Structure 1
Amino acid sequence: MKTVWFKVDPGHSGQRLDVFLAQKETGLSRSQVKHVVEEGDVLVNSLAPRVSQKLKEGDVVELTLKPPKEAIAVAQDIPLSIVYEDEMIIVVNKPAGMVVHPAAGNPDNTLANALLFHCQNLSGIGGVIRPGIVHRLDKNTSGLIVAAKTDEAHRNLSAQFEKHEVHKTYQVLVWGDIKGDAGEIFLPVGRHATDRKKMSTKSRRGKDALTLWKVRERYGLATLLDVEIKTGRTHQIRVHLSSRGYGVIGELGIEGHQRIDAEHELGAVAQSDRSMERLD
């Protein structure tokens, strides 16, 4: 548990409490601030505030950050699309809409729950939340996930990912007819300045990120791309393509486009430099 204090300066006088805290380096969004206020983990001048309270110059805001409650993955009978399996690893095609492992807001019905039911035993290195999980894909991204059945396989696969020996290619459907047949985007990616749930290329603390893209097929109003990321920043593909004016179909679009259902708007394929059958 950690407690931090903020003193309101003249530039933030009159600002709502939730907006004030969401802009600080707390990692909390406005909705998360609302939750911690309701839990009694925020005080203003030693008194319990309302989330909408307007702050004044000189106010002292006290925030207690509690460690998240750890979820535990339990076996659930959920169908899996298995691409490859042996005694050491399993490769599955994760559908869009499925979370990889339990987390806040997604305690069950995850890929980890399904793997525990199918495999019975998985590597314990990932702990009770991520049994056998070596890497992840976003909830709305479909694609291949490799999981380790043994600790030896887990260590070996983790080393391959860390050394960038695994090549990951994504197929992405975006709005618009992209100019050119290939290109690269080199822009930093970091947390949005005011909405901590979002990522942005204009973050003051963004980290370097490189995305390579190539046109696979054109549909007039949309373009299918093969995308390779050389860095692994959160939501890197979506953020980079959006910065060029090409919104991923299935996300909130650009220039007035509405969100549409696109089950496979973002898909991933992974291939290792080494054979899957040889992990030593």
Structure 2
Amino acid sequence: MSKSVDEEETVNGNVGEKPVCLGAVPPPDLPMFEFVVEHTLHGTRVDTFLARHFRNYSSWRLMRVVRAGMVWVDHIPADETARVFAGQTVSVQLIEPPDRVLESDPSEVPIIYSDPWMLVVDKPAGLIAHPTGEFQVNSLANVLQTYVDRLTPARGLLRPGIVHRLDRQTSGLMVVALTHQSHRNISMGFEAGRVSKSYLALTEGVFASTSGSIKHPI
């Protein structure tokens, strides 16, 4: 029995939203990604697993990709109820753009260190770390989104994961994770106290005492 347009749209998720290329073969130039399921994500649903690795995609958007037949677990097409387990290989061909990507910011910050898993950047004073309030575009996260977009074949495939805080008016080094696993490992290192931070204050004038407390913004 054939379905009406309204019925098909409701089955696919939200009314008025249908997966792109449903039941069709996507263009060959679309990138294919493969992941081996980590122990920390053992037993998660496949769209939730993918959302951990593609942080600019919502689980709902990734579920549309699953329903379109563009996700495989150990080379077998996954359905929307599929769960993944440690050691399995998950392959995905992204036929839709990300729906949570940060706005681009063409500003630049010095990259002190980089590898496939993380960056260390030198944040200048006056630059807020994350978009908030009146700073929805001019943040370090927006600048880094522009940077990582140059490393991938399409915009929004990576989302920079800033793992610790640094006040807007404070300059200094910040660690940025590029993958789900590195974000988790670095965050756990900070939480466990395995990462130490040092601050250097430049002062002017002569202090009346060699010790004490400063109760003003620095």
Q: Structure 1 length as normaliser, TM-score? A: 0.36
Which protein has the bigger helix share?
Answer: 2
